[in-house]
Amino acid sequence: MEILVVGPGCPKCKALEKVVKEIIKEMKIDANISHLYDIRQFAKYGVRITPALVIDGKVVLEGKVPLKEEVRNIVKNII
């Protein structure tokens, strides 16, 4: 699973990355988690509002820091 946190590095972006890493660890999922900071590349994924979460090339969340349960549900629906 390829997970990409998209955002310029603001506190909300960092919070999203932290939540995602916690959930992936708790669920014991083999995933590559990275963070895209380059604003010029955001449009490549169709991201309009940050922070955003892209899993396997698909934007699954935009514009907010979700609760852990929401991230868990998103990941469950993908695997």
Catalytic center residues: 10, 13
- Paired with 62 in beta bridges are 52
Is 14 buried (19+), middle (13-18) or exposed (0-12) by CB count in 10 A? middle
Residue the block writes with tokens 């820091």:
65
